[in-house]
Amino acid sequence: MLFVLLLLSTANLFSQEIPKEKRKALKEARTLVSDAGVSLQKEAFVEAEADYRKAIALAPENEAAKYNLGNAYYDRNLNGEANRRYKQSAAVGTSKNSKHKAFHNLGNTYMNDKKYQDAVDAYKNALRNNPTDDETRYNLALAKKMLENEQKEGGGDEDDKEQNKQNEDNKENKDKKDDSGENDNDDEGDKKEDEDKGDEKEDKSEGDKEKDQGKPDEQKEGEQEQKQQQQPVPGQLSPQQVKNLLEAMNNQEKKVQDKINAKKQKGAKVKSNKDW
């Protein structure tokens, strides 16, 4: 009993040491926080936000104003703003209970942003202030699981990137080799060589005609049939086309699997935010 009275008397002493203007600002801030809560119940978010901001300006140490404003943002999917207000509330919190709730909700905003390592840290801080909260323990376990999955998938992505980089380097080297110009000749030499070859082709053509005329019909038909067999058959895929088709199918399958994994992650729900 004496201990309680001592605490009360100490509180009165501190309250007496607070300047009159400061006490007035604190009182007005508490009123604004209360009015903002009423506005939120009436779905008047704009008015509530304005009152919370005024309360924070009057009394920056008012953790309730920052925390409740964070909840108002969170309920409207303003995740970034909610994250900032929860951080502020945790920083000025004076009790383990208030710090626990601020860190718990802060972890939820990190989960929404898929920042799983930050979420793990926030939930751990929440449990340091209240080790018995089962909701926080559940969210911490979920965050750890999502972080583990992300690290596994991230490792595979790095391997794919490295393989793609090697493929691109090989292709680039091949392109450089094809475009190097090592086999190009001077224009004049090419012209002269083409002229000589042209004459040779004419002579050869005449000789071929003579040879063809002397060939049996069966031999000619056999040669024509062989040429037709060597030509690509319409509708049949070349080896390169088959390779490209397989790669496209593999890429499509990977996209489908990524979507399935994303839905699994999206389906995991964190426990609800803590009210003030």
Tens digits of per-residue pLDDT, 26-66? 999 999 999 999 999 999 999 999 999 999 999 999 999 99
User: Of 59 and 183, which is predicted with more confidence?
Assistant: 59
User: What gap in Å lies between CA 49 and CA 45, rounded to an integer?
Assistant: 6
**Residue 163, pLDDT above cutoff 60:** no
Is 275 in a helix, a strand, or coil?
Answer: coil
Q: Which two tokens stand for residue 98?
A: 């208030």
Q: Given pLDDT bands bounded at 50, 70 and 90, which one contains residue 130?
A: very high
Percent of the chain with pLDDT over 70: 55
User: What gap in Å lies between CA 72 and CA 53, rounded to an integer?
Assistant: 12
Q: Which two tokens stand for residue 41?
A: 């119940």
- Mean pLDDT of the 89-108 span: 95
Q: What is the pTM of this model?
A: 0.55
User: What gap in Å lies between CA 75 and CA 272, rounded to an integer?
Assistant: 11
User: Of 17 and 14, which is predicted with more confidence?
Assistant: 17
The domains located in the chain, with CATH, are 18-152 (1.25.40.10)
- Mean pLDDT of the 91-113 span: 96
User: Of 181 and 105, which is predicted with more confidence?
Assistant: 105
For 15-24, 119-128, 237-246, which range has the lowest pLDDT when averaged over its residues?
A: 237-246
Residue (of 116, 89, 113, 115) closest to 100 by Cα position: 89
Residue (of 159, 158, 90, 155) closest to 118 by Cα position: 90
- Mean pLDDT of the 79-94 span: 96
**Residue 205, pLDDT above cutoff 70:** no
Q: Given pLDDT bands bounded at 50, 70 and 90, which one contains residue 20?
A: confident
Percent of the chain with pLDDT over 90: 46
Q: Give, in order, the Cα–Cα distances in Å from 157 to each of 59, 143, 162, 187, 256.
A: 48, 21, 9, 49, 15
- Mean pLDDT of the 230-243 span: 61
Residue 247 has a pLDDT of: 79
**Residue 123, pLDDT above cutoff 70:** yes
- Mean pLDDT of the 206-216 span: 48
Question: Tokens 């303003």 map to which residue?
Answer: 78
